[in-house]
Amino acid sequence: MIIGKQKPIEEIKPMMASAQRVLVLGCGTCVAVCMAGGEKEAAMLASALRMSVKLDGRSTEIRDYTVQRQCEFEYNESAAELVEWADLIVSIACGIGVQTMNEQFPARQTVPGLNTTFLGRPMEQGVWAERCLACGNCVLHLTGGICPISRCAKNILNGPCGGSQRGKCEINSEIDCAWQLIYDRLTTLGMQDLLLEIQPPKDWSTSRDGGPRKIVREDLKL
């Protein structure tokens, strides 16, 4: 899922500098699950911002609200009245939610209170790790289920590189070497031969490199 992390208050405050009425808008889906932008976090951020601006001697009104999922117009409708009331919306949804709000309510600016960081999964409560880069062409069947694009710092397809040491990546000893993991897994699965095949250069055009992407399913259109 999408993982994000709230921006520090000192980064959010300048965005609100000229607003009198601010709506902090949370999202109940991915960012709620990674405890960065859900209902609770929206309430806490609103409270923190109220206190902070008060200490600054300003009198900005700050309210918070959370929609089920901020990337869909249907769900954001429930916030319409508050959006109308506000001068500015600080969204702590992922960047998609922020953009959706700007597209849906163009008369109001929605600014990001959160940094969308990566696609990943929870390892344990409070710990999330990256697992996917949305490259558009999944090769997990060739690597024992470990992604070389998102988990290898050099997105190597014929790894490991010479910097793999004791199962860790050369750039940070806390990062597992993806290719050590792939080697171990393929060995366990009895598929080590896959490692001897030369994987050809990746077609990056299905990824960001090919330009902004879109999927159209004619069969599902109404």
Partner 1 sequence: MNSDSQLSKLLSTGQFVVSAELGPPKGTDIGVIQRKAAHLKGYVDAVNVTDNQTAVVRMSSIGVAALLVQMGLEPIIQMTCRDRNRLAIQADLLGAWALGIRDVLCLSGDHQVFGNHATAKNVFDLDSVQLIQMVRNMGETGKFQSGDPIEGEAPKFLVGGAANPYADPFDFRPLRTAKKAKAGAQFIQTQLIYNAPKFGEYMKRYCDLGLHERVHMMAGVGPIKTLGAARYMASKVPGMDVPDEIVKRMESAPKEKRAEEGIKICVEIIEQVRQMPGVAGIHIMAIEWEETIAEITRRAGLLPRPVA
Partner 2 sequence: MSIEFEPQITAFTCRYCGSVPADMAGAGHLLYPANIKMVTLPCTGRLDAQYLLAAFEQGADGVCVFACGPDNCHHLTGSQRAARRTVYVKDLLRQIGLQPERLEIFHLGIGQAQDFARIVEEMTARIRELGPNPLR
The footprint of partner 1 (CB under 8 A) covers: 153-167, 170-172, 177, 180, 183-184, 195-196, 198-202, 204
Residue at token pair 């994000």: 4
- Greatest CA separation found in the chain? 68
Residue range at the interface with partner 2 (CB under 8 A); choices 5-13, 29-37, 122-130, 211-219: 211-219
With binding defined as CB under 8 A, does residue 222 bind partner 2? yes
Closest listed residue to residue 189, CA positions, set 137, 142, 132? 142
DSSP string, 60-122: -EEEEEEES-TT-HHHHGGGHHHHHH-SEEEE-S-HHHHHHHHHH-TTSEEEESEEEEEEEEE
Q: Tell me the one-letter amino acid at 202.
A: K
- Give the nearest distance from C-beta 218 to partner 2 in angstroms: 5
The one of partner 2, partner 1, none whose footprint includes residue 153, by CB under 5 to 8 A per kind, is partner 1
With binding defined as CB under 8 A, does residue 215 bind partner 2? no
How many other C-beta atoms can be found within 10 angstroms of the C-beta atom of residue 146? Answer: 20
Closest listed residue to residue 114, CA positions, set 61, 51, 19, 41? 41
Contacts with partner 2 by CB under 8 A: the residue count is 6
With binding defined as CB under 8 A, does residue 193 bind partner 2? no
Residue range at the interface with partner 2 (CB under 8 A); choices 44-52, 124-132, 203-211, 212-220: 212-220
The one of partner 1, partner 2, none whose footprint includes residue 218, by CB under 5 to 8 A per kind, is partner 2
- Give the nearest distance from C-beta 45 to partner 1 in angstroms: 28
With binding defined as CB under 8 A, does residue 141 bind partner 2? no
The one of partner 1, partner 2, none whose footprint includes residue 20, by CB under 5 to 8 A per kind, is none
With binding defined as CB under 8 A, does residue 221 bind partner 2? yes
Q: Tell me the one-letter amino acid at 200.
A: P
- Give the nearest distance from C-beta 9 to partner 1 in angstroms: 24
How much is the CA Rg of the chain, to the nearest whole Å?
Answer: 22
The one of partner 1, partner 2, none whose footprint includes residue 193, by CB under 5 to 8 A per kind, is none
Identity of the residue, 141 or 221, whose beta carbon is nearer to partner 2 in the bound complex: 221
DSSP string, 182-212: HHHHHHHTT-GGGGGSPPPPP-GGGSGGG-S
User: Residue 57 — left, alpha, or beta (φ > 0 → left; ψ -120 to 50 → alpha)?
Assistant: left
List residues near partner 2 by CB under 8 A.
Answer: 217-222
